[in-house]
Amino acid sequence: MRGTFPGSRGRGLPPGPPCIPLIGNVLQLPTTGIHLKFTEWAKAYGPIFSLKIGSSTTVVINSPPLVKHILDKQSAIYSHRPNIYIARELILRGDHMMFLNLGDAWRRGRRLYHQQFNETRCEKQHVILQNAEAIQMLRDFCLSPEALMSHPKRYSNSIMMSIVLGIRTMTPDTAHMRGLYHFLEGLSEILEIGATPPVDIFPIFKYLPESWFHNWKSRSRAVGALLTRLYEPLIDHVIRRRNRVGSKECFLDNVLDQQEKLGLSDRDILLMVGNLLEGGSDTTASMLLIFIQAMLKYPDIQTQVQAQIDSVVGEDRSPTWDDYARLPMVAMVVKECLRWRPVAPTAFPHAAKEDGEIDGMRIPKGSTVVLNVWGLHHDPDRHADPDIFNPWRYADRTLPAPCYASSPDYENRDHYAYGAGRRICPGIQLAERGLFIGIAKMLWAFEISEPVDPQTGRPIPVDVDPVTGYLEGFLNCPKDFQATVRVRSQRRRKTIFREFDAAEQEVFRHYECL
């Protein structure tokens, strides 16, 4: 009877914290910072543990060999998604790629993504845009260094808007950029584990007064309304543009050309566009802000990496993706940023399509399977002094992340910031280039230091504490902070503005601005 009683941990499941009858471990889940609790439990219960949420099972993976065995080698079993009522029914109201189970619709969307974000296309086309947008980011820092929270967001959003819709984001005040980040803040708060009642486990919560649970239904529907109001006008604009001047070489035009053939509804296309803008805008921007935090906290590292950049690039041009092989220290900084403060510390949960087993332990059909990225990245047995920002831990692994993600040997994996298995981020090639280009150019151009408090004359330290320094939500984004960003020389400043003028003439003219 113990194995079938709701809330109990049945025989054969991975170990885990003690359960309360009927509800299991519900009351032990924090409303924020779930990745920190998972990492604490991993120390107590081992590299794989289970939680009971009512009658459902959640399995949390905390070691590289288990990631390889479960999510990579058995990806056909463990690549479904949990049924998340709030997301599917209240916010999205359609087939969003992030929430689709493996099947024809998911494969169709993945093929469309691959057409746009494969390595060849990134190498031949997208890096040109990324280089130009990064140059504008440098120019923007020169003109308004105090707006440091905005410039990385504009950079990453403009890249995605240009690739997906053929529309640039010229300034952080652009309506579509402000709308996107407002939507993402709301979505992140809603989707964090523990932030809303577990209606997928206890359906009765759907019928109780929502005021008992912080008006979760109204909040969810409001986030969904933001999504529709944001994307519908942008898609309508592209359709009108097609009717007026024909197709541009952007993702949406490519999809619209195939809409009838692929049987895509208008809602399918809206959610596909949204998935790309959401996934590509917030993560890259947050990582660039985390990079700035790391440079504030570890100025000696900044100086050492700048010395390598200076020896390779000089002052009369800024670094580009073509310099990757000659700037291994920049690659190491990128990897360490992704390890040290991963933006998605628990990734997005997988689900078991059928019953499975690992080392004699059961993973029942329908179980939620969580990749604890934070725990993997902060395991002292794998990363010595994991709380310290130390790029030199990657001195023997400086190739781009896709090279290690596809390795058959789990020991070669550099980090898990892009996920694992069939659900690995489809934009990994683009993201690697965007981060390298952005970070390399910033290190080449600027001295990043702690600002001085005018009242005390003392430096204002940056808060990088995992609990207090980051916004609450599914994504691990820095709270607003201050930094002094100064151009390293007038010669570099002239180079920045010269390259920006060239970007306007040679790159930006191919895209619209709203």
* Domain locations along the chain: 1-82+347-378, 94-344+379-513
Q: Which CATH superfamily is domain 94-344+379-513 in?
A: Cytochrome P450 (1.10.630.10)
In a 3-state reduction of DSSP, which class is residue 496? Answer: helix
| pLDDT over 50 (residue 253) | yes
Confidence grade of residue 194 (pLDDT, cut at 50, 70, 90): low
Specify the pLDDT at position 26: 86
Q: What CATH architecture is 1-82+347-378?
A: 2-Layer Sandwich (3.30)
Tens digits of per-residue pLDDT, 394-405?
999 999 999 999
337-361 average pLDDT score? 96
What does the H/E/C string look like for 110-152? HHHHHHHHCHHHHHHHHHHHHHHHHHHHHHHHHHCHHHCCCHH
The binding site for heme comprises 425
Contact between 370 and 349 under an 8 Å Cβ cutoff? The reply is yes
**Which percentage of the chain shows pLDDT scores above 70?**
97
Q: Identify the pLDDT of residue 327.
A: 99
CA 489 vs CA 292, 415, 444, 445, 447: distances in Å: 19, 35, 10, 8, 10
- Pair 271, 97: CB distance under 8 Å: yes
Q: Is 505 exposed, middle or buried (0-12, 13-18, 19+ CB in 10 A)?
A: exposed
* Whole-number pLDDT of residue 95: 83
Would you state the pLDDT for residue 31? 78
pLDDT above 80 for 140: yes
Q: What's the whole-model pTM score?
A: 0.94
1 or 168: which leads in pLDDT: 168
Q: What's the pLDDT score for residue 1?
A: 36
Annotated binding site: 425
Please tell me if the domain spanning 1-82+347-378 has the same topology as the one spanning 94-344+379-513. no
- Per the DSSP assignment, residues forming a β-bridge with 52 are 57
pLDDT at 416 over 90: yes
User: With contact defined as beta carbons under 8 Å apart, do 15 and 7 qualify?
Assistant: no
pLDDT higher than 70, residue 195:
no
How much is the pLDDT for 204?
A: 76
Angle between helices 251-262 and 104-117 (to 10 degrees): 150
Stretch 458-481: mean pLDDT, rounded?
A: 92
* Average confidence (pLDDT) over 78-86: 90
- By percentage, how much of the chain surpasses pLDDT 90? 79
Cα atoms in the 13 Å half-sphere on the side-chain side of 64: 19
Give one word for 489, left, alpha or beta, with left for phi > 0 and alpha for psi -120 to 50: beta
Residue 430 pLDDT? 98
3-state secondary structure 466-493: CCCCECCCCCCCECCCCCEEEECCHHHH
pLDDT at site 2: 41
The angle that helices 428-445 and 299-313 make with each other, rounded to 10 degrees, is 90
What is the model's pLDDT at position 3?
45
Mean pLDDT of 68-97: 90
Residue type, 455: Q
- What is the overall mean pLDDT for the chain? 93
* pLDDT of amino acid 205: 78
- Strand intervals (E) in 267-402: 350-351, 356-358, 361-363, 368-371
